[in-house]
Amino acid sequence: MNFRKGAKVWVEDKHLAWVPAEITDCRGKQVQLQIGSGKTVLALPEKLFPRDADEEEEHGGVDDMTKLTYLNEPGVLYNLQRRYALNDIYVSLIPLATQVMFKIMLRSILIAVNPFTKLPHLYNVHMMEQYKGAPFGELSPHVFAVADVSYRAMMNEGRSQSILVSGESGAGKTETTKLIMQYLTFVGGRAAGDDRTVEQQVLESNPLLEAFGNARTVRNDNSSRFGKFVEIQFDANGRISGAAVRTYLLERSRVVQITDPERNYHCFYQLCASGKDAEKFKLGHPSHFHYLNQSKTYDLEGVSNAEEYMKTRRAMDIVGISHEEQEAIFRTLAAILHLGNVEFSPGREHDSSVVKDQKSTFHMQMAADLFRCDVNLLLATLCTRTIQTREGSIVKALDCNAAVASRDALAKTVYARLFDWLVDKINISVGQDPNSCVQIGVLDIYGFECFKHNSFEQFCINFANEKLQQHFNEHVFKMEQDEYKKEEINWSYIEFIDNQDVLDLNAETDRDNCSLG
C-alpha cells in the first residue's frame, strides 16, 4: 500500500501485538511513525496495515466484521477487544453474497471470545425467545442466532445442517456446543412433563461425557479430551425425536500418565470422594493412587468432587443407565486405580518379573476381584507374553519395565472401552428416530495443541484440525468467491493461505508412522 503523511496505521508491537500509529514522515525506505504513547518509531511500509480513522470508529466496535473499513488482522483483533470490554463477546462475519441476496445464511460465521466469567443475562429463556425466528443479523450476534438460523434452514429447506465449533483449547467450544444444544432443545422440545424427555436426555449426556472424557489441563480446568459430533434428529414438525453422539480420539495416555498441575479424568476424583461407594471399593484419597498422584492437583477451584459424583449419578439416571450398570462402571474405575498401584520386582528367572510386595499383592487381588477375573490369569497377562509360532505358542517372561507397560496398556484399553460403552449406552438410551430425515449436527473437537512434549495423540488432533481448517477455507473462501462470481458481485479476490501442503505432509508422516508401527 502507498502510505502518505498523516495516514492512520497499525504497527507491530512486541508486547501488545499491534498498536495504533500515525505516519509522520515517509521519505526514506522506512516510514517514521508516532505511536499512541508519543514515541517515534521506524518501520517498513510492507509491515504496516491501514487503520480506520479514529473519528470513524464506533465506540463499542462493530457487531459485524464486514462493517470495518479495513478488514485486516489488527483491525479484527481491535474490534474484538473493544466489544469484549463491554461484555459483547460475540461478533459475526456475514459474507457479502448473503447480505446482498437476503437469503438464509449458508455459511454464517460467529466469533466468540471466552468471557471467563458467567454472563447469565446472555443465555436466559428471555434471550432464547428473542432469537427465536428473528431474521439473522437483526439482533446482536449470538450463538442462539446461529442455532436458530440452522434450525430454520433445516425446517424451510428440509435439509440437514451442521455447526462446526472450532478453536484452540480453552477457547469455549464445549460451552458453546452446550448453548447450541440448549437452544435447539428450547425450539425443538416438547412441553416436558417428566425429566426424561429426549431433549433432557440429550442435555444430560453432556455432564456424563464430561465426567469421563474431560480433565484439568494447564489451559482449561474442564478440557474435553475427546472430540464429539452430536446429531440431533427432528421429526416433520420440527420436534426433537432422537439424538446420537459420536466420539473421536479419546486421550488414552492420560489414564496412566499425568503431569502437575494437570489431572486425570474427573470421574476418578469423583469416585474417590463418593464416601460409602469409595469405601466399598477400598478407595481413599487420590494421593494413594499412582494414576492420580503423579500430579499434586486433586481438587478444582470452586468444584466439589463429592457433589460432582452425585451429579454424574443423576445424569446416569436421567440418561437411563440402570443402577446395576452404574455399579459396574464405578467398579471398573476402581479396578483401574488398584491396577495402577501394582508394582513389580525382578523374578528369579532372567528378565522375568513378580509382584513387588504385599501392598502390590493387595492391589492386584483388588483389581482382579473388581474386574471379576482370576488373579493368576491377570498376573500372567501382565508378566508374560504369548507368542504364536508355527510350532505352537511360546510363553515369554517380561521384565519389570515390560510388565509395567502391560499394566498401563490394560488400564488404558479398559478405560477407552468403558468410555465407548458409555457412549453406546447413551445412544441406545436416548434412541434414534428411524423416521427422521433431518438433523442438526454439532461438531466439537479439541483444538490445535502444542506442548513441550507432543505425542502421536497431538499429531492426530492437529491433523484433524488442519482438515477442518481446509473445510473452512473451502467453504468460506473458495465457495463464497465462486458464488460472488456467479452473482456478478464486484469484489477483489481474497488471498488466503491454503493448508494443503501441511495436510500432504501430515498424511505422509501418518503413513510412515503406520508402516513403522
Ligand X SMILES: Nc1ncnc2c1ncn2[C@@H]1O[C@H](COP(=O)(O)OP(=O)(O)OP(=O)(O)O)[C@@H](O)[C@H]1O
Pick one of 105, 171, 208, 232: the residue that binds ligand X (CB under 6 A). Answer: 171
Q: Which residue, 115 or 238, is less far from ligand X as judged by CB?
A: 115
Phi, psi of 406 (to 5 degrees): -65, -45
At 149, list the grid cell: 438460523
Q: How many residues bind ligand X (CB under 6 A)?
A: 19
Considering the complex, what minimum distance in angstroms separates the CB of residue 171 from ligand X?
4
171 is in an annotated binding site: yes
Long-range CB contacts (within 8 A, 24+) of 507-510: 509/459, 510/459, 510/463
Distance CA 33, CA 25 (A): 7
- In the complex with ligand X, the residue whose CB is nearer, 92 or 352, is 92
Active site residue 55: no
Q: Which is nearer to ligand X, 23 or 145 (CB)?
A: 145
User: Which residue, 221 or 235, is less far from ligand X as judged by CB?
Assistant: 221
Q: Is 275 annotated as a binding residue?
A: no
Q: Which is nearer to ligand X, 30 or 462 (CB)?
A: 462
Establish whether 174 is an annotated binding residue. Answer: yes
Which grid cell is 122? 446472555
The only residue of 79, 92, 161, 224 in contact with ligand X, by rule CB under 6 A: 224
> Which one of residues 79, 150, 223, 312 is an interface residue with ligand X (CB under 6 A)?
223
Return the residues of window 46-105 that contact ligand X according to CB under 6 A. Answer: none
> Least Å distance between CB 176 and ligand X?
6
- Given 72, 107, 109, 115, the residue binding ligand X (CB under 6 A): 115
Q: Looking at this protein, which amino acid is placed at residue 432?
A: Q
Q: Establish whether 305 is a catalytic residue.
A: no
- Our answer to whether residue 40 is catalytic in this structure is no
Q: How far is the CB of 438 from ligand X (least distance, A)?
A: 27
Q: Which of 174, 185, 205, 270 binds ligand X (CB under 6 A)?
A: 174
User: Of 170-178, 248-256, 333-341, 390-398, which part binds ligand X (CB under 6 A)?
Assistant: 170-178
Site for ligand X in 441-470 (CB under 6 A): 446-447
Interface with ligand X (CB under 6 A), residue from 160, 222, 257, 326: 222
- CA torsion angle for 243, 246, 252, 255 (degrees, to 10)? 0
Q: Minimal distance in Å, beta carbon 474 to ligand X?
A: 23
Neighbours of 33 (CB within 10 A): 23
| 320 has binding-site annotation | no
Q: Count of alpha carbons within 13 Å of 462, Cβ hemisphere only?
A: 18
The three grid cell numbers given for residue 281, joined into one nine-digit string: 471399593
Q: Which of 167, 238, 347, 441 binds ligand X (CB under 6 A)?
A: 167
Instruction: Determine which one of 166, 185, 224, 436 is catalytic.
Output: 224
Determine the Cα–Cα distance for residues 110 and 344; give it in Å rounded to an integer. Answer: 54
Q: What are phi and psi of 25, to 5 degrees?
A: -160, 135
Question: Is 223 among the residues known to form the active site?
Answer: yes
Q: Is 284 exposed, middle or buried (0-12, 13-18, 19+ CB in 10 A)?
A: exposed
17 is in an annotated binding site: no
Q: Indicate which residue of 170, 213, 227, 242 is catalytic.
A: 170
Euclidean distance between the first and the last CA atom of the chain, given in angstroms as a whole number: 51
Please classify residue 282 by burial: count the beta carbons closer than 10 Å to its beta carbon, then call 0-12 exposed, 13-18 middle and 19+ buried. middle
| CB 353 within 8 Å of CB 399 | yes
Q: In degrees to the nearest 10, what's the CA dihedral of 470, 471, 474, 477?
A: -80
CB of 207 to ligand X, least distance (A): 13
| CA 114-222-468 angle, 5° bins | 65
Is 416 annotated to bind a ligand? Reply is: no
> Does 173 appear as a known binding residue?
yes
Q: Do 325 and 302 form a contact (C-beta atoms < 8 A)? A: no
Using the rule CB under 6 A, which residue among 4, 14, 29, 118 binds ligand X?
Answer: 118
Q: Of 170 and 188, which has the nearer Cβ to ligand X?
A: 170
User: Which residue type sits at 146?
Assistant: V
Taking CB under 6 A as the binding criterion, the range among 114-122, 124-132, 316-324, 343-351 that sits at the site for ligand X is 114-122
**According to the binding rule CB under 6 A, does residue 169 interact with ligand X?**
yes
Catalytic residue among 274, 449, 465, 480: 449
What sign has the CA pseudo-torsion 238, 239, 242, 245? Answer: positive
**Which CB atom, from 52 or from 444, has the smaller least distance to ligand X?**
444
Has 205 been annotated as catalytic?
A: no
Say whether 170 is catalytic: yes
The x, y and z cell numbers of residue 188, run together, are 425443538
29 class by beta-carbon count within 10 Å (0-12 exposed, 13-18 middle, 19+ buried): exposed
- CB closer to ligand X, 201 vs 223: 223
Closest CA to 39 of 57, 51, 24, 49: 24
Q: Specify the 3-state DSSP secondary structure of 266.
A: helix
Q: How would DSSP label each residue in 36-78?
A: TTS-EEEE-GGG-EE---GGGS-TT--SBGGGSSS-SHHHHHH
Per the annotation, the verdict on 174 as an active-site residue is yes
Using the rule CB under 6 A, give the single segment among 15-23, 150-158, 218-226, 361-369 that binds ligand X: 218-226
Span interacting with ligand X, options 68-76, 222-230, 296-304, 312-320, rule CB under 6 A: 222-230
Catalytic residue among 108, 174, 205, 353: 174
Per CB under 6 A, 121 contacts ligand X: no
Active site residue 449: yes
Q: Tell me which residues touch ligand X (CB under 6 A).
A: 114-116, 118-119, 167, 169-175, 220, 222-224, 446-447
Q: Which residues are annotated as a binding site?
A: 167-174
Q: Which residues are catalytic?
A: 169-170, 174, 220, 223-224, 447, 449
Q: Which residues are annotated as a binding site for ATP?
A: 167-174
